Structure 1
Amino acid sequence: MTAQELRLKYLKFFESKNHAIIPSASLVPNETDSSVLFTTAGMHPLVPYLLGQEHPEGKRVVNVQKCIRTGDIDDVGDNRHLTFFEMMGNWSFGDYFKKEAISWSFEFLTDKENGLGLDPKRLYVTVFKGEPASSADGDGIPRDEEAISVWKETFKKIGMGVEVAGEDEVIRGDVRIIPLGKDDNFWIAGETGPCGGDTEMFYDTRPEEGRVEGKFGELVDSFRLIEIWNDVFMEFNKTAEGKYEKLAKPNVDTGMGVERTLAVLGGQRTVFETELFSSIFEKIEELSTKKYEENKREFRIIADHIKASTFIISDGVLPSNTGRGYVLRRLIRRAVRYGRLLGIEKNFAKEISQIVIDLHKEFYTELEYNKQGIFDELEKEEEKFRRTLEKGLNELEKSLTASAMNISGKDVFDLYQTYGFPLELTKEIAKEKGFVINEVDFAEELKKHQEKSRTASAGAFKGGLQDSGDQTKRLHTATHLLLAALRQVLGDHVYQKGSNITPERLRFDFSHGEKMTAKQIAQVEELVNGAIEARLKVSFEEVTLDEARKRNAMGVFGAKYGDWVKVYSVFDDKGRVASSEICGGPHAENTGELGNFKIKKEEASSAGVRRIKAVLE
């Protein structure tokens, strides 16, 4: 089964169970969500609906979500860690619960015609064993007896009588259900939010070794049992105070990794043996004249990092020294460094990216559309780093020679500032040679540099304004109406990516993967001018950031907000919100002050980002 066949089979199966198929959300989270830099799981973009907001497609949805996790970048290169991965998931927003979720998971895994046709005798499952209120960190949540009961009944229907493991978590005899604690079987995406116990499904990958017996954790660590699916039963919402509140309507969130499932179906020991990596490795072999089998770690790092970078750039992120841009820069430069270790002396990221796009473009069509922008950014970043890489490595070698196993923070900062070496890259190279770096001193050097930079730019005005005159206030207000109109015409994937306003014009960057048509531009102008002609009131109030998010107030790309924010809103003549944004800049008091809005130019700004220049006449 190919990756594309797997994705489509999964979507079709749950469509037959009355789920609406929805597209993958962007890797860049909603701009008012500062909890993570990237979309880390399928549930992440759906949190508002898990908390009770109505989803436009109904109570049952299914998708394949592209994800980025950055916590394990340094571990990429082993046989299991990935930065970019795809997660198949089906969702219930207050509709079905444990019985349906478990039975459908089992059906999809084992059905030979409509599912994957896996052998049910090779399946083992875990459930949440609960946390008594008397335990040190317990929350008084009972063992999931309902999930245990459903699993027993599910196995019984195919003639398998199964038992539940004891406190020792040992598989013996007919044991198929293993209760585990909070660290293993209680799921939450971040520090707060929807959460609950889960049930995980594992598959015996080496049946030729005989009966599965032994401590469950050891069987997983030895890769005899591989997790292939996770059903999360979201019954609670964890508050900022650490309390678990029962949700009025429980939800189901499931996750099944494309890469790992593909490996299990193909009888492969690691995801790197699947079609999603084999052709990338062939290209690296061609470029380096080295063999994958002799250089697995280097090949895996390059393949993973360029794949992740390709998707990140496609979703509008550019290399920089902060936030998402820093993660992207770190990935590209680490890949370039490992390419150099393989003897690749010319720029190669673009060539690897082409293979990545070819592998995924049938499902993620935006990759082909954004291809040239992706190539341009990879080429620029690789070229920039290659110009300083050799000199930087020489400087690092001098520091290693001169130091007594400890490299000063100043030397590390100089490598960062002058030669573009991310802290983590310097740390990794030093570690390979048995040295450590002084991270505390590095942080101090970086802090001093940032304070100087802030002082130098202290004259900049809030919100991208170059002055606070009446005309710029009017243009700034127009950007709010423009964003609302763009989202109405183009869709909810549109977010502000940047803006710049002078007394003569506004410039507005927004997330969108293709050139706007003349009709779309006319529709946006009509909506903005309609709001202006209606002479709508512009008001603001100061609220907590949480309250602003609850109101779905839009935020500015990359902004870091305090606990309290200003929310500027424009209300229509029926008192409904026409525009609502978190913003600090000055605004007109009424849209009637603005004049006629006219778009002068619409063009590409970067991969996945468009730019509008407009005036008020």
Structure 2
Amino acid sequence: MDTEAIVRTFVEYFEERDHRRISGSTLLPAPGDSVLFTTSGMHPLTPHLEGRPHPLGRRLVNVQRCLRTTDLEEVGDATHLTAFEMLGTWSLGDYEGPQSLDWGYRLLTEGLGVDPGLLHATVYGGDDQVGPDTASLQVWQNHGVPVELTVEDNWWSNGPVGPCGPDSEIFLWSGGTPPTSTPTHDDRWVEVWNHVMMRYRRLEDGSLVPLPQRNIDTGLGLERLASLLQGKSSVFESDVFEPWRRLVPALWPLDEVSLRVVYDHLRSAIVVVGDGVRPAATGQGYVLRRLVRRLLTVVWQDDSSRTLGDLPHELVSHTLDHFRQEGEPSEVHRMLLEEEDRFRRLLERGRQVLARPRFQGPLKDEDFHYLHDTHGLPHDLVISLRSQ
């Protein structure tokens, strides 16, 4: 089952259960939001989770593009991506957790053909503020799915304050042997779908108060699920990355982990530009700049003459089309090349500055501040140049 078929099956399944499909928003949150990018499918729906009526009703389904920079250092492994798509469903004060989990189980096993014996669930075990989630536990026991109780791993929040609640996570076995152990003890159990019972608001003092309505918020990582359903060992081997695997290795011969970083960062940079962000020294533009510079550092590790100018336009067009963006591929390509040129010039200036006698010994905090404030050399770039 290819990625588009997975999306179609998911959306139609919930539409048949009276969910209305809503359009996924861009990566850019609403003005005044404290986060730089949309990090989950629920983010644009926060006002409705807090009680504002949604014009399409209480049951919703969508496909939302997301970007997370918290896992940048993990990119290169089998499951982490910076830009990705999240399949989501919501009950805004309508049905409760057991119904959501039952539908989730049936979609995975009946609609998508997952072997029930390859599933494992985790459920909130309770603490001194909120008791154990016995309703979710009962659902999984009724379906014969093994369950692990946790506390911190099964409590979802969007930050230190705000909407939150217990969750139940569904894991799929990715090992080549019969399933063993539990999700917290064996990373071959891969989390694919999180069902959050979003019932509370956490206040500044750490206390919890009930939200105006009891919500369900679920999120299923599309690329991760696709790779597992397609029997692949990593998200980068799924059909979504087929053009990247076909074109990039011949252009830039790199080891597997480096190729994954290049696929991810370049694809993510294209998506960010496609949503209207331009390279800058702060904010969203700096995230874009950081992605481009990280991928160029990898591309240039064996040959500094390599350039994004050689990047096939097919990859830019494929990414924009997949994420349903209307940007002009040639304009996105041009912007990436401009940032590459800017980075080359910065590297040359950095080498000249760091060659000065005052920077030959160990660098102090004031040296790093001076290099950043006077010469525009970020801390990580200075460290990289010093190690060359």
TM-score (ref. length: structure 1): 0.59
Task: Please state how far the C-alpha of 1:353 moved relative to its aligned partner.
Answer: 6.8
Matched AA of 1:38: F
Q: Indicate the residue corresponding to 2:26 in structure 1.
A: 26
For the pair 1:193 / 2:162, whether they are aligned, the reply is yes
SS in 2 for 1:195: strand
2:363 corresponds to which of 400, 407, 415: 407
Aligned 8 A contact 2:183 2:190 in 1 = no
Q: Indicate the residue corresponding to 1:364 in structure 2.
A: 323
Matched length:
388
Q: Indicate the residue corresponding to 1:423 in structure 2.
A: 379
Query: Counterparts of 1:395 and 1:74 in 2: how far apart (Å)?
Result: 28
SS in 1 for 2:192: strand
For the pair 1:219 / 2:186, whether they are aligned, the reply is yes
Q: Indicate the residue corresponding to 1:145 in structure 2.
A: 134
SS in 2 for 1:219: coil
Q: Indicate the residue corresponding to 1:4 in structure 2.
A: 4
Matched AA of 1:30: A
Task: Please state how far the C-alpha of 1:420 moved relative to its aligned partner.
Answer: 5.0
Query: Counterparts of 1:284 and 1:394 in 2: how far apart (Å)?
Result: 32
Aligned 8 A contact 1:232 1:253 in 2 = yes
Matched AA of 1:366: Q
Aligned 8 A contact 1:99 1:150 in 2 = yes
Query: Counterparts of 2:308 and 2:289 in 1: how far apart (Å)?
Result: 15
For the pair 1:77 / 2:76, whether they are aligned, the reply is yes
Unaligned runs of 5+ in 2: none
1:239 corresponds to which of 196, 199, 203: 203
Matched ranges for 1:213-612 at <5 A = 213-214=180-181, 216-220=183-187, 223=188, 225-288=189-252, 290-291=253-254, 295-343=255-303, 345-348=305-308, 351=311, 354-359=314-319, 361=321, 363-367=322-326, 369-393=327-351, 395-396=353-354, 402-403=360-361, 406-409=362-365, 411-413=367-369, 416=372, 421-427=377-383
Cα deviation 1:39-93 (Å, max 9, x = unaligned): 1111111100000001111111111111111122233233333211111111111
TM-score (ref. length: structure 2): 0.92
Query: Counterparts of 1:109 and 1:397 in 2: how far apart (Å)?
Result: 59
Query: Counterparts of 1:409 and 1:318 in 2: how far apart (Å)?
Result: 30
Q: Indicate the residue corresponding to 1:128 in structure 2.
A: 124
Does the C-alpha gap of structure 1 residues 400 and 250 become closer, same or farther in structure 2, counting only changes over 3 Å?
A: farther
Which of the two has higher C-alpha Rg?
1
Matched AA of 2:43: H
Does the C-alpha gap of structure 1 residues 359 and 384 become closer, same or farther in structure 2, counting only changes over 3 Å?
A: closer
Aligned 8 A contact 1:307 1:353 in 2 = no
Aligned 8 A contact 1:287 1:344 in 2 = no
Does the C-alpha gap of structure 1 residues 373 and 416 become closer, same or farther in structure 2, counting only changes over 3 Å?
A: farther
Query: Counterparts of 2:261 and 2:376 in 1: how far apart (Å)?
Result: 19
Task: Please state how far the C-alpha of 1:413 moved relative to its aligned partner.
Answer: 4.7
Query: Counterparts of 2:282 and 2:49 in 1: how far apart (Å)?
Result: 31
Query: Counterparts of 2:346 and 2:273 in 1: how far apart (Å)?
Result: 23
Does the C-alpha gap of structure 1 residues 205 and 346 become closer, same or farther in structure 2, counting only changes over 3 Å?
A: closer
Unaligned runs of 5+ in 1: 133-139, 163-175, 434-617
Query: Aligned-pair RMSD on alpha carbons?
Result: 2.5
Query: Counterparts of 1:44 and 1:51 in 2: how far apart (Å)?
Result: 12
Q: Indicate the residue corresponding to 2:94 in structure 1.
A: 95
SS in 1 for 2:186: helix
Matched AA of 2:210: K
Q: Indicate the residue corresponding to 1:177 in structure 2.
A: 147
Task: Please state how far the C-alpha of 1:373 moved relative to its aligned partner.
Answer: 3.3
Matched AA of 1:365: R
Aligned 8 A contact 2:78 2:234 in 1 = yes
Matched AA of 2:139: V
Q: Indicate the residue corresponding to 1:37 in structure 2.
A: 36
Does the C-alpha gap of structure 1 residues 265 and 408 become closer, same or farther in structure 2, counting only changes over 3 Å?
A: same
Does the C-alpha gap of structure 1 residues 377 and 281 become closer, same or farther in structure 2, counting only changes over 3 Å?
A: same
Query: Counterparts of 1:235 and 1:11 in 2: how far apart (Å)?
Result: 25
Cα deviation 1:322-356 (Å, max 9, x = unaligned): 11111111111111121111425243168267414
Does the C-alpha gap of structure 1 residues 49 and 215 become closer, same or farther in structure 2, counting only changes over 3 Å?
A: closer
Moved more, 379-388 or 349-358: 349-358
Cα deviation 1:222-273 (Å, max 9, x = unaligned): x2x1111111111111123322111232101101101110111111121122
Query: Counterparts of 2:276 and 2:207 in 1: how far apart (Å)?
Result: 36
Does the C-alpha gap of structure 1 residues 387 and 261 become closer, same or farther in structure 2, counting only changes over 3 Å?
A: same
Does the C-alpha gap of structure 1 residues 20 and 410 become closer, same or farther in structure 2, counting only changes over 3 Å?
A: same
Aligned 8 A contact 2:123 2:168 in 1 = yes
2:174 corresponds to which of 187, 202, 205: 205
SS in 1 for 2:184: helix
Task: Please state how far the C-alpha of 1:282 moved relative to its aligned partner.
Answer: 3.3
Query: Counterparts of 2:300 and 2:358 in 1: how far apart (Å)?
Result: 20
Aligned 8 A contact 1:350 1:379 in 2 = no
Task: Please state how far the C-alpha of 1:417 moved relative to its aligned partner.
Answer: 5.6
Query: Counterparts of 2:376 and 2:309 in 1: how far apart (Å)?
Result: 17
Aligned 8 A contact 1:276 1:359 in 2 = no
Aligned 8 A contact 1:27 1:68 in 2 = yes
